[in-house]
Amino acid sequence: MDVKVTLLPQDQLKPLYDDPLKLKFGQNFTDYMFTVIHDAGKGWHSAEIKPYQALQLDPAASVFHYGQEIFEGQKAYKSAKGDILLFRPEENAKRFNRSMKRMSMPEFPVEDFIAIEEKLLKLEERWIPQQKGAALYLRPTGIAIEPALGVRPANQYMFFIILSPVGPYYSTGFNPVSLYVCTDFSRAGEGGTGAAKAGGNYGGSLAGTCTALNKGYNQVLWLDAKEHRYVEEVGAMNIFFVMDNKLVTPPLGGTILPGITRQSLLELASGLGIEPVERRLTIEEVIESIQSGKVTEVFGAGTAAVVSPVGKICYNEKDYVINNNVTGPWAQKFFDTLTGIQYGELEDKHNWVHVVK
Ligand code: PLP
Ligand code: COI
């Protein structure tokens, strides 16, 4: 794909951050962005890398009315050798396309997705933090831009990528977070869009997130929409339980985001000496197992959240503390192994690391 590149004079580049570990998640953006347009009958065209700028969209653009919007979240890391590393970018490109398809939006070629990210990252290399714990977050996004109020798939789309240097997602850093089990709202129902990374899923989840935050918890823990019994996932990460020395996580059934970090932890588990199990578990089982000591650790996993230990779960207005609210050995082991691979410190036995050339 041909990409037109418009560069800024050196003296118009933004000043860099001081300490990337102190950056608030997603509040700082780099100098450039990528955009490409899709028209029905014409396909993708007018690919551009240009200075970071506001989008000019018609107020009738269908994204504003019917929510055809999907996104991805990835990180670029800097290895000690100075290489730029991406973690399993093909998986993000493929999930981007699955989300696009679910929202009746056009797919984008996987090879071009990765080639464009490489081009952007080379141009923006100075923004990729050297410090472990910080990274350059990539936000590929698809939106419907045709000005049309009829309820039908749009005839024009934009795919853009913006980049944001980030530190830890939670203000707690790698210390345990607290979760509030939402028992009134649901995140996703069967046959809905829960498995797509669609903005609407997040918009709909904010009421539950607000309840959790207002009550002093870091995130919401979602249950299934039908019975409000089965544990699904957290607001911005998948969830894992260490039970009887097994690594248990809810199965993907269309209502949970198929996290790439989740899949990676499941693939790493056996090699680290713990059996991975995907099965449904009720919130009652979780609470009883915390109380009996059968659950020894709980942690979340996601690109932004990495591996985040969970120290406390509130269910029906009662708190249940896990592992004395301190990081447990399995959370630590998965965190160290995953980040070791992502930053190029550990051998990449699974061939997950993509070196940007
Ligand atoms: N679940 C939700 C709702 C998320 O927003 C995320 C973050 O992307 C995840 C799970 C984890 O997915 P991944 O590991 O691919 O980042
Ligand atoms: C991610 O982990 O990349 C996410 O998208 C989570 C959240 C910031 C939406």
pLDDT number for residue 170:
85
User: Could you tell me the domains of the chain?
Assistant: 4-166 (3.30.470.10), 177-342 (3.20.10.10)
pLDDT tens figures, 57-74: 999 999 999 999 999 999
- Classify residue 69 as exposed, middle or buried by CB count within 10 Å of its CB (0-12, 13-18, 19+): buried
Averaged pLDDT score across all residues of the chain: 97
Q: How far is the CA of 355 from the centre of ligand 1 (A)?
A: 23
**Is a pLDDT exceeding 90 seen at residue 139?**
yes
Main-chain dihedrals φ then ψ at residue 5, nearest 5 degrees: -115, 125
62 lines ligand 2 (CB under 6 A): no
Within 13 Å, how many C-alpha atoms sit on residue 50's CB side? 10
Q: 346-357: per-residue pLDDT in tens? A: 999 999 999 999
Kindly report, residue by residue over 1-34, the tens digit of the pLDDT: 999 999 999 999 999 999 999 999 999 999 999 9
CB 309 within 8 A of CB 297: yes
Question: Which of ligand 1's atoms lies nearest the C-alpha of 187?
Answer: 3
Residue bearing the CA closest to ligand 1, atom 9: 237
Which DSSP symbol is given to 228? S
**264, 268, 257, 187: which is closest to 221 by C-alpha?**
187
Which of 38-42, 57-61, 168-172, 328-332 bottoms out in mean pLDDT, i.e. has the lowest?
168-172
Q: pLDDT-derived band of residue 173, with 50, 70 and 90 as boundaries?
A: confident
Identify the burial level of 316 via C-beta atoms within 10 angstroms of its C-beta, where 0-12 means exposed, 13-18 middle and 19 or more buried: exposed
Q: How many CA atoms does the CB half-sphere of 160 hold within 13 Å?
A: 18
Once rounded to an integer, what is the mean pLDDT over residues 143-159? 98
Cβ contact 128:86 at 8 Å: no
Closest ligand to residue 87's CA: 1
137 CA closest ligand 2 atom index: 3
Ligand nearest to the backbone CA of 265: 1
The reply to whether ligand 1 has any atom less than 6 angstroms from the CB of 196 is no
pLDDT of residue 218: 96
Contact 221, 266 (CB under 8 A): no
How far is 324 from 217, CA to CA, in rounded Å? 16
| Closest atom of ligand 1 to CA, residue 264 | 14
Is the CB of 304 within 6 Å of ligand 2?
yes
What are 33-49's pLDDT values in tens digits? 999 999 999 999 999 99
Asked if the model's pLDDT at residue 209 lies above 90, the reply is yes
Nearest ligand atom owner, CA of 170: 2
Q: Which of 257, 266, 339, 341 has most ligand 1 atoms within 8 Å of CB, for mutation?
A: 257
Cβ–ligand 1 distance for 338 under 6 Å, the answer no
Mean pLDDT of 116-140: 97
- Cα of 303 from ligand 2 centre, angstroms: 6
Question: Does any ligand 1 atom lie closer than 6 A to the CB of residue 233?
Answer: yes
pLDDT at 172: 78
